[in-house]
Chains A and B, each alone.
Chain A
């Protein structure tokens, strides 16, 4: 099986962000970057399938400036066989531009499966995987939380709001991975050493003209300070009164 996984380098979200001086970027000073969690689960899914199917190979692809090589190396150290950097000055905000660049690379690879994380927390769009499937004319199942592959066919589960879908699809296919599919392995020391020798190809890409423009970024408005109504169960009547008369939600 030939498997591709598209991964993104993203900042750790457990911080208070600052807006850059240009007003259209996040100030990256002091931010820690790593592979997107959803993409790490996608890598894990690909590795598990490769290990079950003799003669399989996993390729990881990331679009962006040279810093994304760290993210590619991380995937290689988890056990991915080879990496491709689609070199661009920056990752565009327009998901269609990203999808077009990835699809151009992926169509030449005749992959049986192409994995994505279901979304990345930074742009919070989650559109690139399904867009790529459409550009390649491939079947696609998004946000999967279980997966079985056998005899050129697949079966997956998707989490909906308050429900689940069971989906069947033929290979080749594009899949995007939700939380709960697996737990990503940590790179071993041996894996980290091996990753240094694995092939990492750098290919410059031309990005199409974006049709959407980021005008500004801002921090969300602070909520006005609330108040403590009281302590313990004796404060409940006062709370209920406020919910009825002031907030008018009860």
Chain B
């Protein structure tokens, strides 16, 4: 049996969208093998109740590990628990997320199992005895196709490339324990500070509104924030120039190493479109650009462009989006 394991990421006692994407990706693989998906949910008491829905996304078995000391991420306890389960379950593949947590966890699990890993997986196929995946290199400017023959194959999915899909499975719940006591680990996350106002994650938001130098000053990012809030499901991003100037935190930066986004809708506000930036957002489904320079490179990748002053166009767009949302 070539069953597939999925690690369901949680934070603050909630299942994250990337966790459901991992289950959906694992389901795709398991369907090719004709096998089962076993999803591990690891978190504080109460996470099990929230994880009951995971069967709906294609998990045959949901393994719930609840522990009062898991309010914060615990890398060593998560590594030991996931690695033990992958080993004892003799899975053909284990699917994680290429999120901040997944980037920390998945390589540790792989090394502990002596297995190879591919991160930022864009798609997966099965060919003979190999799992064949696509992975962006050179900040998204080159796409690699990689065959993994070792078992288990450790795959970390890029966020937002596989939409969580409903695929009703048994979702039989199995309760388990952390493989090591979370209170005994050397590395301890003592606090998780949520960003202001529970903002959406850049990597996961269905809509991204990003601002560049065309906004002229840090305080003018309010235009971008207002437009994002008019959508209600949008995250705010920025160009490198803007984060280098300290207008926005580095974590908002799109288009450098590790910061690739693929939302349904990407709105570039006052962004000329440096090659690095374009590499970070070109896989967005729909791209809108507003810039006063009609020759700006951003218009070459934008599905829809408006040539104009962002200080006039963006408030008008914000108002129009608010109106449109009202009628839904």
Partners in one complex: yes
Which residues of A are at the interface with B, using a C-beta cutoff of 8 A? 11, 13-17, 19, 26, 37-38, 93-96, 99, 118-135, 139-143, 145, 158-170, 173, 178-180, 210-220, 223, 225-233, 235-237, 239-240, 242-244, 247, 249-250
The reply to whether A249 and B264 form a contact with Cβ atoms under 8 Å apart is yes
Residue of B nearest to A131 (CB): B111
Q: Which of B213-235 contact A (CB under 8 A)?
A: 235
Question: In the bound complex, what is the Cα–Cα distance between A216 and B37 (angstroms)?
Answer: 29
A160 nearest CB across to chain B (Å): 4
A93 neighbours in B (Cβ, 8 Å): 144, 146
Tell me if B's interface is mostly helix, strand, loop or mixed.
Answer: mixed
Task: Kindly provide the distance from the CB of A212 to the nearest chain B CB, expressed in whole angstroms.
Answer: 5
Chain A neighbourhood of B136, CB < 8 A = 124, 220
Q: List 25 A-B contacts (CB under 8 A).
A: A96-B111, A96-B114, A124-B140, A131-B111, A133-B111, A134-B112, A140-B187, A162-B200, A162-B202, A163-B193, A164-B193, A164-B195, A165-B192, A167-B188, A168-B187, A169-B188, A211-B150, A213-B147, A218-B142, A218-B145, A226-B300, A228-B305, A229-B304, A232-B308, A243-B288
B residues with a Cβ closer than 8 A to A are 11, 72-73, 75-76, 79, 99-101, 103-104, 106-108, 110-112, 114-120, 132, 135-150, 186-195, 198-204, 207, 235, 249-251, 253, 256-258, 264-265, 275-276, 279, 282-283, 285-288, 294, 299-309, 312-313, 315-317, 320-321, 324-325
Nearest 4 interchain pairs by C-beta: A211-B150, A161-B201, A134-B111, A127-B107
Most buried by A among B146, B235, B309: B146
State in angstroms the CA–CA spacing of A13 and B83 once bound together: 35
Tell me whether A213 and B149 are in contact (CB under 8 A): yes
Using CB atoms, name the residue of chain B closest to A157: B193
- Measured CB to CB, the nearest residue on chain B to A158 is B100
Task: Please state if A161 and B139 are interface contacts (CB–CB under 8 Å).
Answer: no
CA–CA, A129 to B119, complex, Å? 14
Q: Are the C-beta atoms of A249 and B258 separated by less than 8 Å?
A: no
Known A38-B257, A163-B193; contact A226-B304, beta-carbon cutoff 8 A: yes
